[in-house]
Amino acid sequence: MIVDLPDTTTSQISKTLVKIREEGGAVALGRVLTLVISTELGHEEEAIEAANDASREHPMRVIVISTAKEGPITKDDPRLDAQIRVGGDAGASEVIVLKAYGDTASDEEGLVTGLLLPDAPVVAWWPGEAPTVVSQSPLGRIAQRRITDAAAQADPRGFLRHLSSTYAPGDTDFSWTRLTLWRAQLAAVLDQPPYEPITAIEVHGSPDSPSTELLAAWLQEQLGVSARHELVTPAHGSSGIQGVKLHRASGVIELERNHPNIATLIQPNQPTHDISLPRRSLRDCLAEELRRLDPDDLYGDVLQNGLRQLDEPLITGSIPTAEAAQ
């Protein structure tokens, strides 16, 4: 069910929620958190769809605050339009979409305060452009967890460095979440014999991939070996992390993703394997981050310390595909 509330107030929205609950039987008793999403006007639906999917694992109230990215804010046209979605239109959540115009858009914290679930954690998510200092932003101040996406910024690598200097416990970024499968696969490989120390690390990925630098920083911290990372434009056109090479006495372990969902694992004296290593969807990343509401200390350590110790990347041309190399 979808209920539109043009030119409304947060008080009227709250009353409408109560009415919907009383008349339709929709309840919020099973909600475990409030997810506040800050987006640009016209870019709400992709984030709402991801939140709806994630809500099947994490029942929640979703509050979407949508404002204009640029343009004059005039005192003549302050307005709040709202839409409430429940039932089949909201997955296992309640979705409240707030479209704020004029001066109304300048008070994000005030817009959501009266709509938060009582005694429930608050998670704030910026799918697009993030605040200058996330933890000190109006929404960041009321949230236990704050989620950004460096890959969605105008300068992904520069934003990652900025996050490093402004980090506060509770901050996280999807560029780190996208590493989960890579980290798990590499850890599994190193858990197998021979148990030899790693002597060199190479990581390469596309220039628009902040995850490449985070993976190199994580490996360098965990293995105590300097990591060399390259930013390349792959011939097959895909973005993100392209591959990792771990050198040790018995040979080189290679994990290369030459296709969007498949990676090739090459190890000395072992058969070559193709393994599933899919690119993570927005829903997958969001659902993973909602599984924990405490600070991610490992992310904070890699972001603040690992990145600082990482050498500047080597920027090269395209890497030929396997077919081109033959």
Report domain extents, the chain. 2-148, 180-325
pLDDT, tens digit, 9 for 90 and up, residues 157-180: 999 999 999 999 999 999 999 999
pLDDT score recorded for residue 233: 77
Q: Beta strands of 118-164 (E only): which ranges?
A: 122-125, 145-148
Instruction: Measure the CA–CA gap between 224 and 148, rounded to whole angstroms.
Output: 28
pLDDT score recorded for residue 260: 81
pLDDT score recorded for residue 321: 37
Instruction: Measure the CA–CA gap between 210 and 176, rounded to whole angstroms.
Output: 9
pLDDT score recorded for residue 239: 78
pLDDT, tens digit, 9 for 90 and up, residues 291-310: 999 999 999 999 999 999 99
pLDDT score recorded for residue 236: 58
Instruction: Measure the CA–CA gap between 325 and 284, rounded to whole angstroms.
Output: 34
Low-confidence ranges of the chain (pLDDT < 70): 24-30, 69-76, 89-90, 92, 234-238, 317-326
* CATH hierarchy code of domain 180-325: 3.30.360
CA distances 59 to 125, 283, 292, Å, are 16, 14, 14
Instruction: Measure the CA–CA gap between 260 and 275, rounded to whole angstroms.
Output: 12
Same fold across 2-148 and 180-325: no
Domain 2-148 class in CATH? alpha beta
